[in-house]
Chains A and B, each alone.
Chain A
Amino acid sequence: MIGKLLQVEFMKLKRKGIWFLVFLGPFGVVSLQMVNYGVRKEWFLHQGTYNWDYYVLNVSAITPFALILGIVILTSFMASIENETNTWKQMLALPITRWSVYLSKYTTLLFLLIIASSLLAIFSLLFGIYLDFQNDIPYVDIIRYSFYPLFAALPVLGLQLWISTVIQNQGLPITVGVIGVILAYMAYFIPDWLIWKWPSLDNQWNEPLLNVYWGLAVGIGIYFVGMIDFIRRDVK
């Protein structure tokens, strides 16, 4: 049943320009580095930081912000598809469980974000190769900095999906989303316990993996809270 629902979810994304968005996010992140290295190449050389490691750090400084922005846009996109003419009432009168509907939405979003993260890894690698650094390519770091933020951002994904599906008026989810994007932008200045900080992989113990674990644990928690709320609510 989940398989069929996923096929249906992807059918609904047709002609919505969603694949372009999935491409645009990682492309945007890497193009900022194109500008950065275009303008400041001499300076990096002068500082002795013209290398892979420093480049990967530069890319990953923008990733959390772009990721949270992407999550907010994609979730409200997904919700707007059903909210526009209230297709919820049509879909939920079909012989399917509500939890499978919610799970298929979540899975679709996660799939799109995984594609975006993979593109980020590929684009980072390609531009890095173009920059022709002298040291070895740090494949593991590139993959780590492309996917860790996604796991650390699962609580934000769960939260945005929850509020945008149960609240018909998209004002609140967008507001929460915008605040989240700003918080993600200021990640280094906000406390460790705020979920919007986690994708930055920064914490007082300097252990990025901690953010990944918290993200997975709290992300699954918020997912279930949202799903149970979705199941119990009346459909208008």
Chain B
Amino acid sequence: MEYIVETNRLTKRFGKELAVNGLDIKIPKGEIYGFLGPNGAGKTTTIRMLLGLMHPTSGTVKVFGKDLAKERIEILKQIGSLVENPSYYPHLTAYENLETIRKIYGAPMERINDVLTIVGLSDVAKKKVKGFSLGMKQRLGIAASLLNNPQLLILDEPTNGLDPSGIIEIRNLLKQLAAEYGITILISSHLLSEIDQIATSVGVISKGNLIFQDSIESMRLYSMRKILLKVNNSERAWHLLISRGVKADYEKEIISLSNMSDDDIAEVVRLLVENGYSIYRVEEEKRSLEDTFLQMTSEASGI
């Protein structure tokens, strides 16, 4: 499989603190990779290492199959990025800000107007950024990241400070970039709801450790594994299940089963029916992705 980003035991230590601990991130081409983690998990630190802004304490980063430590400049030509809060020169206009970056890429002049249009800032192109709202500054940062027509976009909490319609706009833009141009996107967030709408794969980081990495579908499956049973005489039914070695919980007349395959569940139902119980309901508890994410991160911090 061809990975656009591949890290190997990527680690960053600040003094005694392990901010990032042995990450093996793998991002296939064309994916929108949601990089999720609570505040202080190590997302920004990881992103800084992916861009060569910070040197890893140990481990390696490969982007486009090239070693970042050796071919940083070649790699960065194909990356657009936005790290943490937007950076800008307040005394320059939006256009001039982009010009400082365009010059270094050597991108064509028209590209500035293109990206300003893409993020909806054409009207204020000639205004000083000093007076921009946070959302406008964020858009400017996104515009800057698109100047070089990148193959890989690395965006650290890009919807920070945007209003709901702005968030939807950016989300649609990113989806479009991935769909039309096959751009690979890494987008970090501490909000699952944000990633859920856009990502095709997910990596969850907590306290510097990557605790989950798979497709968003797998994460959804992971979050829907609880089956609730309502039967007559439920407490006795629960005891029966326990005595047969089924892992079941009992609470408020409801028997709940977690981590079971479809076949296992069929087996449990058959068992109850054969023993004369009436089954009123078999329900899947829709645990939200949000709950799953919280549970994952709290489990990880419990260790």
Q: Which A residues have a C-beta under 8 Å from some C-beta of B?
A: 4-5, 7-8, 11-12, 14-16, 81, 84-97, 232, 234-235
Which residues of the partner chain B approach A85 to less than 8 Å between Cβ atoms? Answer: 85-90
Closest to B50 in A: A93
Please name the residue on chain A nearest to B74 by beta carbon.
Answer: A95
Given the complex, which residues of B lie within 8 Å of A14, measured CB to CB? 91-92, 96
Query: Contact at A8–B100, with CB atoms within 8 Å?
Result: yes
> Which residue of chain B is the closest to A101 with respect to CB atoms?
B104
Residues on A with beta carbons closer than 8 Å to the beta carbon of B77: 95
Which residues of chain A come closer than 8 Å to B235, judged between CB atoms?
Answer: none
List the one stretch of B24-32, B51-59, B254-262, B290-298 in contact with chain A.
B51-59
**B76 located at the interface, meaning its Cβ lies under 8 Å from any Cβ of chain A in the complex:** yes
In angstroms, Cα B154 to Cα A90, docked, is 12
A90-B48 contact given A11-B92, A12-B100, CB 8 Å threshold: no
**B85:A12 contact, CB within 8 angstroms:** no
Residue on A nearest B91 in the bound complex, by CB: A15
Instruction: Provide the residues of chain B in CB contact with A91, threshold 8 Å.
Output: 104
* Nearest CB in chain A to that of B75: its residue: A95
A11 to B96, alpha carbons, bound, how many Å?
A: 8
Smallest beta-carbon distance A226→chain B, Å: 18
Q: For the complex, give the distance between the alpha carbons of A43 and B114 in Å.
A: 69
Q: How many residues of B contact A (CB 8 A)?
A: 33
- A5 and B101 CA atoms in complex are apart in Å by 10
Q: Given contacts A97-B73, A234-B53, is CB(A11)–CB(B48) below 8 Å?
A: no
A-B pair count, CB < 8 Å, reads: 80
Q: Besides the contacts A14-B96, A95-B77, what 14 more A-B pairs have beta carbons closer than 8 Å? A: A5-B104, A8-B104, A12-B92, A85-B88, A85-B89, A89-B87, A92-B52, A93-B76, A94-B101, A94-B104, A95-B73, A97-B73, A234-B48, A234-B53
A90 touches B104 (CB 8 A): no
List B25-78 residues whose CB lies under 8 Å from chain A.
Answer: 48, 51-55, 72-74, 76-77
A-B interface, 10 closest residue pairs, ranked by CB to CB distance from nearest: A235-B53, A95-B76, A90-B87, A234-B54, A87-B87, A95-B77, A93-B51, A95-B73, A8-B100, A85-B87
Q: A93 touching B91 by the CB < 8 A rule?
A: no
Does the CB pair B85–A11 fall under 8 Å? no
Closest-by-CB residue of B relative to A235 is B53
A86:B87 contact, CB within 8 angstroms: yes
Contact among A8, A12, A81, A93 with B52 in the assembled complex (CB-CB below 8 Å): A93
B144 interface residue per 8 A CB criterion:
yes
With contacts A8-B100, A8-B104 known, is A93 near B89, CB below 8 A?
A: no
- Whether the Cβ atoms of A81 and B104 lie closer than 8 Å is no
Decide yes or no whether B169 CB sits under 8 A from chain A.
no
Residues of B within 8 A of A96 (CB): 73, 104
> Which of B76, B79, B91 is the one whose CB lies under 8 Å from A16?
B91
Taking a contact as CB atoms under 8 Å apart, the answer to whether A89 and B83 are in contact is yes
| Chain B, residue nearest A96 (CB) | B104
